[in-house]
């Protein structure tokens, strides 16, 4: 998955930040799906690599993700943003125990669980029936 994320990073469209990111997610079927960050001149329309990979998996028929790998710069270990973490939570079969591996191109990596990054995710089921 790390190599797939590195390859996806090469396709990133990052003319504004020059910060290329690639991601790979493992779907419940065992298939790996990739994504890269895609920037836009209207910065709010920029999409992170993690969400592109997850949306790629879901639009290809997956209903859950099992793991995520994210790769950024030569010596930069990326950290997923809050929006990506919430999307990971939405499609993670393992919930807060989803494994997230973050790597730099130099090979240095850290591994965390979703709960490490997002200890109190929004869960619509907890709010149903409230007014």
d(CA 95, CA 128): 19
Phi/psi at 18 (5° precision): 60, 20
Q: Quick one: which of 34, 32, 37, 33 has its CA closest to 21?
A: 37
* CB-side neighbour CA atoms (13 Å) of 103: 20
Does the annotation count 50 as an active-site position? yes
Identify the active-site residue in 50, 64, 74, 130.
50
Helix H or strand E segment including 87: helix 82-91
**Tokens coding 46:** 């920029």
User: Known catalytic residues?
Assistant: 50
């Amino acid at each position: 998955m790390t190599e797939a994320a590195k390859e996806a990073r090469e396709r990133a469209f990052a003319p504004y930040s020059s910060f290329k990111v690639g991601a790979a997610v493992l779907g419940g079927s065992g298939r790996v799906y990739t994504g890269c960050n895609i920037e836009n001149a209207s910065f709010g329309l920029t999409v992170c690599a993690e969400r592109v990979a997850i949306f790629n998996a879901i639009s290809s028929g997956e209903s859950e993700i099992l793991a995520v790998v994210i790769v950024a710069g030569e010596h930069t270990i990326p950290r997923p943003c809050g929006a990506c973490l919430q999307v990971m939570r939405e499609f993670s079969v393992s919930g807060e125990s989803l494994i997230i591996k973050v790597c730099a191109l130099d090979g240095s990596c850290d591994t965390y669980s979703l709960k490490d990054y997002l200890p109190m995710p929004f869960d619509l089921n907890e709010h149903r029936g409230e007014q």
